[in-house]
Amino acid sequence: MTEPGLCRSDNSFFWWVCSTIFLPLTLPYLLLKVIGIIKERKYRECLPGKVVLITGASSGLGEALAHTFFLAGCKVVLAARRKDELERVRKDLLELHTTVVTHSPVVISIDLSDINSHSAKVQEILEIHGQIDIIINNAGISVRSGCLSTAMDVDIKVMLVNYFGTVALSKACLPSMMKRKEGRILCVSSVQGKFSIPHRSAYGASKHALQAFCDSLRAEMADHNVKVTLVSPGYIRTALSYNALTGSGSQYGKMDPTTESGYSPEKVAKRILKAVLRDEQDVIVAPIAPLIAYWIRHLCPPLYFYIMARRARKLEASDKVK
C-alpha cells in the first residue's frame, strides 16, 4: 500500500514543475501560435492579386513557390536564366484546375550575376503590373569543395549570384515599394547562413552575408512599411547539389544523400507562404538535427567547433579513400 503522504508529495512536486517551468514556456508559445493563426487568416484574404516576383522559378523550390503563390491567387512573375523552362512552368500553371481566380503568369529572363541589368528588368515588370508587392529571392548556386581547393573565381561567382545579385535585385524593387509604403523582400537563405560546415565555405559565406543584409535592411525599412523576411531551409530535395560547383568551377553532377533525403520543395514552399501570411521575419525550416546544431553553435561554441573539426577529418579521410 502506498503511503498517502508520499502520493501528496509526488503530486505536489509534479504540479510545482509544471507551474514553474513548463507553464511559463508553454503559454507564450501558445499565444504566439494563436496570434500567427489570426494573422494568417487576415492576410490570406489580402493575398489574391498581389504581384509576386520569384527568382529561380524554372525548377526546384522556385517552381514549387510559383505553384503555391499562383494557387493563392497571386500575379506571379517567373524569373530565371532559362526562358524555355520558365515557359514550361508557365504552361503548367495555366493548365491547373483551381477554385480561385488566377492570373496569367509573366515570364522574365534574369541573370542574377548581371547586376547592372536588374533595374531595367524591374522596370519591365512595373510597366506590366504597375507594382511589385513581394519579391522572393530564391535563385542561387552551391559549392562542394574545401576552402583551399576552391578557386577564387568560384568564391567570387558564388558571392556574385547568391549575395550581390540578390541585393541588387532587391534594391531595384525598393524605391517603388517605399513610394507605395507597402512591400516585402523575402530572401531564401539556408541553415548554413546560421552556422557553417566543412566544404561549404563559399556557399556559407554568401548566406551569412545575406543574413546580415536582411537584418540591416529590416531595421531601415521599418518606418517605410516594407517588410523583410529571411527563410533558412535545411536540405531540400532539388537539383541544387547536382548543379553545384566544384572547387575548379565545373559541375558537381551528383545528388548528395543529404539532399536526396531533404524536405520536398512543396513543403518548404507552403511554409514560406505561411511565413508571408504570418508576417514572420526570420524563419528556420529544418528538421531537428540542424536546429540542434544551430543552438549548440550559439550556446556552446567550443562543442560546435569540436564537432565540425571531427566532421572535417571524416570528409578528408573519405576523399583520400576515393
242 catalytically annotated: no
Provide the 10 A C-beta neighbour count for residue 289: 11
| Spatial separation of the C-alpha atoms in residues 112 and 77, rounded to whole Å | 15
Helix axes 265-277, 23-44, angle to 10 degrees: 90
Rounded to 10 degrees, the C-alpha dihedral 126/94/56/281 comes to: 70
| CA 310 to chain CA mean position, Å | 28
| Spatial separation of the C-alpha atoms in residues 123 and 121, rounded to whole Å | 5
Q: Cβ(163)–Cβ(208) under 8 Å?
A: no
Catalytic residue among 163, 203, 235, 304: 203
Name the one residue in this structure whose C-alpha cell is 487568416. 41
**What residues are labeled active site?**
203
